[in-house]
Amino acid sequence: MADYLVKARPKKALKNLKVWLDSGDIARMRPFGEALDYSLKNARVDTDGWAVWEENDYCSPPLAMEREAVLDTYFTDLSVEKVAKGKGWEQIDHLPRLWKDSGMALLVVLVLLFVVAGSSASFIWFMNQQQTRAGVRYRSAAALSLAEAGVHEALSILEGVAPGGVSPGRTWRPAAYSRTLAVGTLEGRYSVSLADEAGGAILITSAGEVGGVTRRLRAQVYLASPALLAALHGASVVHLERPPAALVILPYGTGIGDRPWIHIAAGRGIQFASTNVSLNNPALPFEPSPGPAYAPGNARNSLAVPRPEAVRLWLNRDAELTLGRDRLRVDVHQLQAAGVYVQGAVLRAEAFAELLEVDRTYYQRLASRNTANAGLNETAGKYLGDADLAGKRDSFYTWREFERLTTYLSGEGLSGPLRGVAHSAVA
């Protein structure tokens, strides 16, 4: 930064510069506006009619930006002399000011203000009314936006975990959960309450409040069964055996082609016992059982069975695809060349999120209503001498019952599968 004593010849349009200075526009220029405004307002005029003033500046060459924006329009032959701060003003202090104040101009302004005061009063009243109405509309729109934000947060929590991260979000039922947020220049908040309704619905009531204006929204939602995006998930390694073992992964119901969108997910890797692993083999005949989305005997079962798709894999970071007893590392293209029916693998850069808690009661209820395995229970119970198993009509088994049933099936070499949803208690 440096100080200069500036000397320049004024042009005839100098009065326009005075108007510009009085408007304050020059003072608002950045970065030099305040310094230039002060210097020009306090400028002096020498005996030859040249304008002189002191100005602080950091440009190279000096006053480059000021000249481009203002000075070259109203002055010519501008020159600068470097001086110590304040010394320039001392040199020109005895000279008359460049601007001569006129009391007549002030009088004219006062008369004009007096004339327009009456008409402007009504205009101001009208604008105040409009501004009040606009403020109410703005706060009303902001309150509605907050109410919508409350509904969206409630949906997010229902699909995740409750505040605090302890209990699952699907059990969250607050009487009054509120948050304070900034809405533009205003501060508002929303309050959310959730309540169970008939038929498994959840009623979300959200009230947004901004500046004394409240708007409310209500939404009735249904939570789907807590099914995972991946049909088969292993936190560590998923091992696929050679024939006669076969794995077929289909959507829950016919006509629903978007679930599961990932067939197998693994945290540490997927092991293929051999190149002839049977995985969604479209040439393999099979008879699918009803999915968990509906009970056995549903009319949907009569529809055409969807064709097995090429399997989509989802692997955690550092997870591997391996083949054979020696666990040779392979990629998707090598598996495809070997005849394994895979489409591709998604490699995640971040760690797997923890699995959602499975709603066991949902599947237990379906298994308790499933009587499609009553005949198999009776045959196995009589064969094994288990009267309780022989008389069992539903498909909700104790651990012991399920172990005996699978022992009977493997011992007899039966190919008939369990039908519908079956559930076994943990040992």
Please give the Cα distance from 295 to 285 (Å, whole number). 23
3-state secondary structure of 38: helix
Please give the Cα distance from 145 to 136 (Å, whole number). 14
**Furthest CA-CA distance within the chain:** 129
The token pair that represents 412 in the structure block: 């007899």
Lowest mean pLDDT among 203-207, 221-225, 236-240, 385-389: 221-225
Higher-confidence position of 255 and 221: 221
What 8-state DSSP symbol labels residue 215?
A: E
Lowest mean pLDDT among 96-110, 245-259, 331-345, 360-374: 245-259
The band of 258, judged by pLDDT with boundaries at 50, 70 and 90, is very low
Q: What is the pLDDT of residue 330?
A: 92
The band of 218, judged by pLDDT with boundaries at 50, 70 and 90, is very high
The band of 391, judged by pLDDT with boundaries at 50, 70 and 90, is very high
pLDDT of 54-110, one tens digit each? 998 888 888 888 888 888 888 999 999 989 988 889 988 899 998 875 545 556 667
Domains of the chain in start order, with CATH, are: 2-92 (3.30.70), 141-221 (no CATH), 226-357 (no CATH), 359-427 (no CATH)
Lowest mean pLDDT among 108-112, 250-254, 284-288, 317-321: 250-254
Please give the Cα distance from 98 to 24 (Å, whole number). 18
% the chain with pLDDT above 70: 82
Angle of the 399-412 helix axis to the 374-384 helix axis, nearest 10 = 80
Q: What is the pLDDT of residue 306?
A: 67
pLDDT of 225-235, one tens digit each? 444 456 787 87
Q: Using an 8 Å Cβ cutoff, are 290 and 254 in contact?
A: no
Flag whether pLDDT at 374 surpasses 90: yes
Residues ≥6 apart with Cβ < 8 Å to 186: 139, 142, 210, 211
Across 132-141, average pLDDT:
85
